[in-house]
A = this chain, B = another copy of it.
Amino acid sequence: MLLVVAALMAGACAPADHRVADEAVLRATDEKWSATAAKNDLDGTVAYYSDDAVLLPPNGLAAKDAKSIRANWAGMLGPNSSVSWKPAKVEVAQAGDLGYVWGSYVLVIKDPKNPVDDRGKFVEVWRKQADGTWKCIVDTFNSDLPLPAAPAEKK
């Protein structure tokens, strides 16, 4: 009987490792997010963030609430905008509660007054919600392109 108990406990306690499946879901979620942003769908895009998410944009202050995150995205999406990204690496923790994605993005805004033709890198941290969906809790990105020379530095 002790052997049966031991066998039951070993079987029942072996940690279920769903990382491969979790990572496939998180990758697909991130790809859907990029497709949503590519359609310039502001409501759809900000819906990927958790309620307590932070967005840490380059050359600006951290956006620590939904209103600030939305304002950041409103500045990037629009009829002249073309944004998309793709994961280079997706990894989920063993218990399936946390994960991250990093990869590369392209952002083009055909605004005659303030054109943007940017490409760079991003890091997203994700948390699995009670309903099994993933939400982004920390989001940041930065450019691959060199800084424009500061006027004061010009010779």
Contacts and interface: CB of A to CB of B under 8 A. Distances in A.
Interface of A: 1, 4-5, 8-9, 12-13, 15, 54, 56-62, 89, 91, 93-95, 97-100, 102, 114, 121, 123, 125, 138, 140-151, 153-154
Nearest to A6: B8
27 contacts: A1-B1, A54-B89, A56-B102, A57-B142, A58-B58, A58-B143, A59-B142, A59-B147, A60-B146, A62-B121, A62-B144, A93-B97, A93-B98, A94-B95, A98-B98, A100-B125, A100-B138, A102-B125, A102-B140, A121-B140, A123-B123, A125-B125, A141-B142, A142-B142, A147-B147, A148-B150, A151-B154
Nearest to A59: B147
- The 4 A-B pairs at the shortest CB distance, nearest first, are namely A93-B93, A148-B150, A58-B142, A94-B95
